[in-house]
Structure 1
Amino acid sequence: MKINLDKKFMINELDLPYTAIFDEITDTSRWSIHHRIIFPYQGKFYEAYYREGATEMQDESPWEYDETVECTEVELKEVKVKKWVIKED
């Protein structure tokens, strides 16, 4: 389920991205750091993406030019992952 939160009211009222319960860097570019956050809202959890300036000279704030922020409902689920590791003798 997707929802759109109004930036002026809901994002500011929830103090996102600062109050998010999870924040990870998903990518970087020359000028920006890209983030994925998880936050609670009305008894459910949602994810959203934002960017911020990569240096103190880059004046870019989260959702700077967006009127609304698209958020997707998520749930915490255990996931098993296989990966290559060094073989022990």
Structure 2
Amino acid sequence: MEQAAGKLLQQVPNNTFGETHLYTVENERGETDTSFEKEMIGIEATAAKLIDAIEGAVEQGRAPTFSASEKANLDLFFKQHGNANLPPISSEKPIP
């Protein structure tokens, strides 16, 4: 439960410590702009599946294999998260 404005709010435990609006900005008109937030959610969701695949492969003692577009999506994820110094995994562009 969370207290806000003198009221207790019920909240699902999985959402209690989750951060939202990490990439939401205010535009020049003072309006909330969530377009970048939505783009990043897609990139992060795709990367999460690929990272899970990496972990699964490692647990099975094998190297993960990815298509060129999956490699491009991993590249985009790492670049978006400040790891631009990493060599690219793929020469292809990510699929939105």
Higher RCO, Cα 8 Å, sep 6+: 1
Name the TM-score, length of structure 2 as normaliser.
0.21
Give 1 or 2 for the bigger CA radius of gyration: 2
Which one has a larger percent strand, Structure 1 or Structure 2?
Answer: 1
**What is the TM-score when the length of structure 1 is the normalising length?**
0.21
